C-alpha cells in the first residue's frame, strides 16, 4: 500500500535549507523499504516533482521510481515492470523463466504479459498479450522478498517456443519438468498443441526428457538424438562394485555410459579421485565410459558424435548418422 504521510515544511516563508530538504527526502524514501513506487505514491509520501528529478531518485520506467541508493537487480526490475503495467500484469517469457531459476539466455528489456483489454507501452518493456489458455502463477523472489506474478512454468515453454532455438527450448522444457507439481504428460500435451507451428512443437515433444538433471546433460542428449543415435536413458541407475551409481546418459543394453563433466569435476583433487574411482568401478562391471566436457558440445560436437558412434560400433551396434545436429550446434574446433 502507498504511504499516506504528507510533506511537512517550515511554517515561515523562509526557503528550506539543503539539509532539511535532503532529510525530508530521505525520510520519505525510507518509507518504501527499497521497493519501486509510483509517482502518485511518491507525492503521497511527501516527495515533490523536483524530488523525483533529483539524483536521490532513479526512474526505472515511466511513472515508476526507486531510491537511488538501492541496487537494482533483475528481481527489482521485474517488480517495477509489474507496477508500471498495472492490474492483471505478470512477468513472462525469458524473464519469468529467470525468476523461476530456469536455464534460458539473457535478454534485453523486461517481458510482461497483460490482459487483452489493456494497452501499456514503455521504454525497457517488452509487452504482449496473455497467451490463450495460459495460466498465471507466482514465484518467490528472494532479492526483493516478494512473490511476483508470472506466466505458469508449463505455459512459459509455449511462450518461448517461437523465440528460442530448438536446443534452448528443449533445455527449458526439461527444467520445467523437474519443477515440483509439473505433470510430464500434461505438459507434453500442452506443448504439442502450441500454436508455434506443428513441426516445432513435434520436435520439442520428441526431444524433451523429464529425467535430465542439468542444462548441459539436456544439450548433450539433444546432440546425440539429432545425430541419429537412439534416445539414451537419462540418470540410469546401476550397481558397480557394490555401490549404486547414476549415469548421466546410458545405453544399458550395450553397457555404454556417457557422462557430462562440468567444471566442478576438475576443481579439487578429491573430486578428481572420486571420478577416477567411479569410472574404474564401471569399467570393472563391463561398462564403456565416454566423458564429455563443454568443449565437446560448444566447439567440437562432431568429435562427440564420432566418439559415441565408435563406442556403439565396438559393442556391435552400427548407427546411421544424421547431419540433423548441424543446424543447431556450431562446429568451430
C-alpha dihedral sign at 141, 144, 146, 149: negative
Average per-residue pLDDT in the chain? 91
For residue 14, what pLDDT is reported? 57
What are 244-247's contacts with CB under 8 Å, separation 24+? 245/278, 245/281, 245/282, 247/282
| C-alpha dihedral (270, 273, 274, 277), degrees to nearest 10 | -160
CA 109/CA 107 separation, integer angstroms: 7
Annotate 212-271 with three-state secondary structure. CCCHHHHHHHHHHHHCCCCCCEEEEEEEECCEEEEEEEEEHHHCEEEEECCHHHHCCHHH
| Structure confidence by residue, pLDDT tens digits, 182-234 | 999 999 999 998 766 668 899 999 999 989 899 999 999 999 999 999 999 99
CA distances from 87 to 78, 81, 132 (A): 14, 11, 18
Write down the pTM of the prediction: 0.87
C-alpha cell, 297: 558440445
CA distances from 162 to 50, 111, 195, 196, 206 (A): 44, 15, 9, 6, 16
Query: Quick one: angle between helices 153-160 and 166-177, nearest 10?
Result: 180
DSSP string, 169-191: HHHHHHHHHTSTT--HHHHHHHH
How many other β-carbons are positioned within 10 Å of the β-carbon of residue 327? 11
CA 113/CA 92 separation, integer angstroms: 6
Query: Domains of the chain by range and CATH?
Result: 18-67 (no CATH), 74-160 (no CATH), 214-333 (3.40.960.10)
Residue 313 has pLDDT above 60, yes or no: yes
| Structure confidence by residue, pLDDT tens digits, 237-250 | 998 888 899 999 99
For residue 10, what pLDDT is reported? 46
| Structure confidence by residue, pLDDT tens digits, 131-184 | 999 999 999 999 999 999 999 999 999 999 999 999 999 999 999 999 999 999
| Structure confidence by residue, pLDDT tens digits, 144-158 | 999 999 999 999 999
| Structure confidence by residue, pLDDT tens digits, 86-113 | 999 999 999 999 999 999 998 889 999 9
CA distances from 55 to 26, 50, 234 (A): 12, 10, 54
Amino acid at each position: 500500500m502507498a504511504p499516506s504521510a504528507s510533506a511537512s515544511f517550515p511554517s515561515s516563508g523562509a526557503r528550506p535549507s539543503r539539509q532539511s530538504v535532503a532529510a525530508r527526502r530521505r525520510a520519505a524514501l525510507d518509507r518504501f523499504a527499497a521497493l519501486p513506487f509510483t509517482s502518485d505514491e511518491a507525492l503521497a509520501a511527501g516527495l515533490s516533482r523536483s524530488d523525483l528529478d533529483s539524483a536521490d531518485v532513479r526512474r526505472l520506467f515511466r511513472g515508476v521510481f526507486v531510491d537511488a541508493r538501492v541496487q537494482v537487480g533483475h528481481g527489482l526490475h521485474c517488480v517495477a515492470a509489474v507496477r508500471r503495467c498495472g492490474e492483471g500484469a505478470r512477468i513472462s517469457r525469458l524473464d519469468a523463466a529467470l525468476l523461476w531459476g530456469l536455464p534460458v539466455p539473457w535478454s534485453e528489456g523486461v517481458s510482461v504479459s497483460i490482459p487483452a483489454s489493456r494497452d501499456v507501452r514503455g521504454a525497457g518493456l517488452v509487452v504482449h498479450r496473455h497467451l490463450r489458455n495460459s495460466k498465471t502463477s507466482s514465484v518467490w523472489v528472494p532479492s526483493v522478498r516478494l512473490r511476483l506474478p508470472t506466466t505458469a512454468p508449463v505455459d512459459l515453454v509455449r511462450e518461448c517456443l517461437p523465440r528460442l532455438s530448438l536446443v534452448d527450448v528443449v533445455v527449458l522444457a526439461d527444467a520445467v519438468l523437474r519443477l515440483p507439481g509439473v505433470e510430464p504428460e500434461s505438459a507434453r500435451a500442452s506443448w504439442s498443441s502450441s500454436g508455434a507451428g506443428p513441426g516445432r512443437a513435434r520436435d520439442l515433444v520428441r526431444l524433451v526428457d523429464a529425467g535430465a538433471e542439468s542444462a548441459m546433460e539436456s544439450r548433450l542428449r539433444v546432440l546425440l538424438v539429432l545425430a541419429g543415435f537412439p534416445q539414451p536413458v537419462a540418470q540410469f541407475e546401476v550397481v558397480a562394485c557394490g555401490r549404486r551409481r547414476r549415469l548421466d546418459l546410458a545405453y544399458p543394453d550395450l553397457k555404454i555410459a556417457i557422462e557430462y563433466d562440468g567444471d566442478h569435476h576438475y576443481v579439487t583433487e578429491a573430486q578428481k579421485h572420486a571420478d577416477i574411482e567411479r569410472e574404474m568401478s564401471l569399467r570393472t562391471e563391463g561398462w564403456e565410459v565416454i566423458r564429455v566436457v563443454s568443449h565437446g558440445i560448444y566447439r567440437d560436437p562432431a568429435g562427440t558424435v564420432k566418439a559415441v558412434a565408435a563406442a556403439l560400433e565396438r559393442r556391435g551396434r552400427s548407427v546411421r548418422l544424421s547431419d540433423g545436429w548441424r543446424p543447431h550446434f556450431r562446429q568451430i574446433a
